[in-house]
Amino acid sequence: MDALNPRSGYDICIRPYYGREDGPLININEALLIRLAGVTAFGRGLHLFEEKCVHSFVTAEKCTDAVVHEQQLHKVRLRHTHRMIEGACDCEASDGIEFCHHCVAVALGLQKRQAPAKSIDKRGALRRIRQHLSRLTHEALLSEFLAAIKEDRHLRDDLLQKVTLASEQLSYQELKQMIDDVSLDDYLYEAPEIRSYFQCLESMLVRLVEIAEKLDPLIFLRGVECAIRRLNEDLGLIEDFGDFRELSIDLLIDLHRKAIGRLDWLPNELASYLVDRRQGDGWHPFDDLPILYEEDLGEAFCEALAQEVESRSFEDATRVLEKYARPSSGQ
């Protein structure tokens, strides 16, 4: 048995594995390592590799030396050719002759260097995918697409929303279900999950903007009001939403103004409706930027709004008068 080197203190493993005749290094894979070390040792070695416990990795010609840190440091040497790989370690499990879990960890590091992933930019990746898809038949393309969305829930839900929104006969219940699908069921505390929630909400609201003209005006208005209510409920379940909500707020303001603009209601009916919404709990677009509605709906609406506020009970009027009542011409 050959010594590793004069300073190593242990010998080369006597469990070689013979493989391909071609190439400078045997193809290292999981089946090979399980055959050499066994299932248990492979699992332990994989854990060490994934935890980045392999250090001082040096490969020279047909040998690879490394140090594996597991409670204490273990020196490992692998000897490899195009036909075989063998390993030795100074741990008790190897005793210089067995392919132990430390050898597995180093071999996995060698495997990673054996076929490094080629870096490819987004444009290049899309070009290659497009070339591949363009060669498929319609049925093969559909089959591959369905297989992809079957494994990706977020993509599947996203496409289902698009299909639902594309329907000319979208009912309020379907619209409400779509809104409920992105609503919260539990508290959110961490920034990544809060960001993810608002991204899903924004995606749904953008689609509402795109489909608005296809919806019945009253169904559209009810849907927007439902989204506003659900946002108010969800904000109570979010620890700290910070600036995450800003785009959703802007989208809801635009949606509500668009919905109001599609109604054929009289100015006094619009004024009554908007004051009612303002007096509810939580955030509402009309409460946020009433001046936009005045600009959208014109002078007749503004006069109806002032009359509506003045016609309410004293308690109701004092809640909204300061914000909505227009000053008299003498002021």
Q: Are residues 109 and 38 in the same domain?
A: yes
Domain contains 127: no
Q: What is the pLDDT of residue 189?
A: 86
Q: Are residues 99 and 195 in the same domain?
A: no
Domain contains 257: yes
Residue where one domain finishes, among candidates 90, 114, 138? 114
Residue where one domain finishes, among candidates 99, 114, 129? 114
Helix axes 290-311, 246-261, angle to 10 degrees: 60
Domain contains 122: no
Residue where one domain finishes, among candidates 94, 114, 134? 114
Q: How many structural domains does the chain have?
A: 2
Both tokens of 66, joined, read: 């490394």
Q: Residue written as tokens 């635009």? A: 254
Confidence of residue 329 (pLDDT cuts 50, 70, 90): very low
Question: Which has more confidence, 151 or 54?
Answer: 54
Q: Are residues 214 and 302 in the same domain?
A: yes
As a whole-number percent, the residues of the chain with pLDDT over 90 amount to: 24
Domain contains 317: yes
Q: Are residues 94 and 199 in the same domain?
A: no
Q: Are residues 89 and 157 in the same domain?
A: no
Indicate if the alpha-carbon torsion angle 259, 264, 268, 272 is positive or negative: negative
Q: Are residues 66 and 193 in the same domain?
A: no
Q: Are residues 293 and 177 in the same domain?
A: yes
Mean pLDDT taken over the chain: 80
pLDDT in tens, 103-118: 999 999 888 877 655 5
Q: Are residues 163 and 272 in the same domain?
A: yes
pLDDT in tens, 1-41: 333 433 333 333 333 333 333 445 778 888 889 988 888 89
User: Residue 211 is part of which domain span?
Assistant: 147-324
Q: Are residues 91 and 180 in the same domain?
A: no
pTM: predicted TM-score of the whole model, two decimal places: 0.50
Confidence of residue 120 (pLDDT cuts 50, 70, 90): low
Q: Are residues 285 and 194 in the same domain?
A: yes
